[in-house]
A = this chain, B = another copy of it.
Amino acid sequence: MTLKHEDVPEETMERMLAYLRELDCIWREGKVKFSSQTLAKVLHTNPAQIRKDFSYFGEFGTRGVGYDTKQLIRELRAILNLDRTWRLALIGVGNIGSALLRNPELKRQGFDIVLAFDNSSRRIGKKLGNIMVEDVSHLRDRIREEGVQLAVIATPVECAQDTADALIQAGIKGLLCFAPCHLDIPDEVRIVPIDIPMALGKLVYHMEV
């Protein structure tokens, strides 16, 4: 594919991810074929939006025949760089961190936590799933050794910025951050926050009190 992802609007890429998620659900329900009319319904959007989003990436489906679920999943995964396994480092093996380590769904989706770090002597050296928790002071060397590009920050807020700085020095290019705070990150590093208190906050400001 010659198209650069930078040329595709962010919103389109996010919708492509949502389409893939719906197609995964549908595949599990055993639906193997779609007409283009039903595709939009199944993806919870309208046909014009889908055509516009897909048009960035070429032709999908066959006129008069429709879409093959498995093939469309395969094509979307390739577009989204999800047709491979991504190796991740995890920093912070508290409640959320250890939940991620134990979650088989992540690996099934192509995200394999291969390194886990903590600063607590209670946790260092323990095995969680298949992964031995390592001392966070070895973070830079170990990430370089393993050639990992992505990391998950699941530390307390107080350590999150220092952790991010160390990760970026180690060559990390993408961060998923569970710490509920703003992080200063260079432009070339991508960060996606998952802020659970803020998500709950979004629920309540419209509630009747």
Query: How distant is A113 from chain B, measured CB to nearest CB, in Å?
Result: 11
CA distance A207 to B21 in the complex (A): 20
- A99's partner among B21, B95, B198 (CB-CB below 8 A) is B95
Which of A63-71, A76-84, A119-127, A138-146 is found at the contact surface with chain B?
A76-84
Total number of A residues with any Cβ neighbor in B under 8 Å: 60
Pair A196/B13 contact, Cβ less than 8 Å = no
Query: How distant is A120 from chain B, measured CB to nearest CB, in Å?
Result: 15
Pair B84/A209 contact, Cβ less than 8 Å = yes
A44 at the interface (CB under 8 A from B): yes
Query: How distant is A6 from chain B, measured CB to nearest CB, in Å?
Result: 8
From residue 184 to 209 of chain A, which have CB atoms closer than 8 A to chain B? 190, 192, 194-209
Return the chain B residue nearest A103 by Cβ.
Answer: B95
Copies of the polypeptide in the assembly: 2
Which residues of chain B have C-beta atoms less than 8 A from A98's C-beta? 95, 99
Pair B206/A5 contact, Cβ less than 8 Å = yes
CA distance A176 to B202 in the complex (A): 10
- Assess A150 versus B203: contact at CB under 8 Å? Given A81-B209, A103-B96, A182-B44: yes
Pair A192/B199 contact, Cβ less than 8 Å = yes
CA distance A35 to B37 in the complex (A): 57
Pair A21/B203 contact, Cβ less than 8 Å = no
Q: Which of A100, A103, A206 has the most CB of B within 10 A?
A: A206
Which residues of chain B have C-beta atoms less than 8 A from A192's C-beta? 199-200, 202-203
